[in-house]
Chain A
Amino acid sequence: MSEAVAMHSAADAVETPLTPENWGKLGMWIFLAADAMSFGCLIVGYALLRHASAQWPNPAHTLGINLTAFMTFLLIVSSVTMVLSLSAIQRGDKRNFKKFLLYTILGGLTFLGCQAYEWTHLITERLPEAGISFTTHLFATTFFVLTGFHGMHVTGGVIYNTCVLAAVSRGRYGPKHVEIAGLYWHFVDLVWILIFTFVYLI
């Protein structure tokens, strides 16, 4: 990667990307824009289906928002630890980098654990109680597809961060790679902030 930077630093302005100090960063931003479209389409689809529906269960009552509020708090905290971990490695502080990235990974795992609990509780108790099933109402499908798609992204992010932690510890990755991983993790947090609002609160 440093060879590519050396090659391109001599290129003229028209070949320089928006982020010349870190080419991978631009790649990640463009990927995130595309991924945002995926989530955007799901959220818009959910909004339109709900708008068109004669009777839609009240999400706040059916889903419960206390656990989800805690999950939102978890992801926000993990975003803070992620950016602190990046800040640390940029200063050359390997110890704090590891500590904060580990906290980020733990935050993500806890989030997934909470989601697994929430889903189990919904599928086995809450939804049957409310008389909602996949075959009777789009509420179930839209909820599980949207939160499940996001949960997959969190899982990917946890694996990604673990790989970055291992690679930096072995001296193969540096601040640039951590920055790119950070962008992905903040995106996952950002999408959850929107899902929490549109699916659970409104």
Chain B
Amino acid sequence: MSNPYISRAARLLAAPAIVALIIAFYSRWFSVNNTTVALTLLLAILGISTWWGLLEATIASLIAVVGFNYYFLPPVGTLAVQDPQNWVALIAFLVTAVTASQLSVRAKRRTQEAVERRREVEGLYALSQTLLLSGSARTASQDLVSRVVKILGVSTAAFHTRSGDETFRWGPENPLISDEQLQADREEPLIDAPKGFAIIPVRLGGQALGNLGLAGPLPSEAVLNAVAYLVAIGIERARSMEEASHAEAERKSEVLKSALLDALAHDFRTPLTSVKAAVTSLLGRERPDEDRELLTIINEEADRLNRLVAEVLEMVRIEAGKLHPEKHPHDVAEIVHSALAELEPALHDRPVEVRLQDGLPQAEVDFDFVLQVLKQLLDNALKYSPLRSPLTVSARAGEGRIVISVADRGSGIPEAEQMRVFDKFFRAREHRFRVPGTGMGLAIAKGIVEAHGGKIWVTSEPGQGSVFSFSLPVYRGEMVK
């Protein structure tokens, strides 16, 4: 497009020229009555107002009134008007010309506005399609800024996402859309039409998703708000789709882990089952003593291998986050007595003192898992304290937790090793070759306790003994005393 000022000036000169041409035509070459002249002039002025504008039409109207008076109204050749009726005609002409011009200009403006509205709606529709077809929140943001530039006809668009703390830009850099402006926490849109920039907050349901910055010729505020709303919906939709596919991937990998663990358990235990069944079958028959001794060794080692497999699987399960305790309210006394009953053969020559606080609330735990922890601690206490030395099992409640402790009168654990006894495969230096074990028992106990949201710890005085304690959640339906 050429310079708008020049074309405007040309039109301002052309409008009176057209009027002059009509007047010259009728006064010099083609004589008609005055009404025909006036109507022709009126038509020309209407055309000017429709195509060019109100100012052009108004100037043309004034020139037409003067020219018509001078060349056609008697006395012809002067600006005087003889017949007062002609004054009325002249004024009527002027009023008609100007009013009709105004009406036609207004109609033209309405049409233009309607066209603009249609374009804006088309733009918004195109934008919404773009946003709804984008795969991820990131590509949606990238598409969005380029589309906004193309569809709204602005020169620069930028979008800053709050969740990703990332800015996407399209179009030439514009200092008015600075990073600070985009990252600011704003409630209301900032629209500066004269400077040609706007920063609009993108929100959905009261939650701020980020800011959209635009520079260049701006559409109306209504359109800007609609764009911001569309962007919010598009980004949110892309984000929730991403989340859904993440969750699906996560679920699939969890299923895979579980399947792998199951396969592992099955594959290790199947040959062990044959070995164990075969050897116990042989042990069930009459055998010479030396055979019996050897078969017993096979049997015991099969058991040991099975325990090892169980421990390794449990460790893997804990580390894979696949330990899912099924928590129900249980009496701590029941857990303690079950553990003592199951270890009865090993405990028979040990005095065991059980000290349970009166009115203990129920614990919300997986009975079997916690039983396993307690048995592990009792087993350790048996292994690492002198024969026939007493053990104490105690339980007390406080601060929404129940703490169960197992105390022995063993040699204790040096301070440097106290932190490490719960590490996987850690074996105390002193006992490494003397006491059988895999170094997984306490690590598994720790995993189980932590899966219940509890803690496990040890206090020990070298030479005096050790106290292993763990905390468990109190069943919520109960009052903590």
Do A and B originate from a single complex?
no
Residue ranges of B at the interface with A (Cβ–Cβ < 8 Å): none
Residue ranges of A at the interface with B (Cβ–Cβ < 8 Å): none
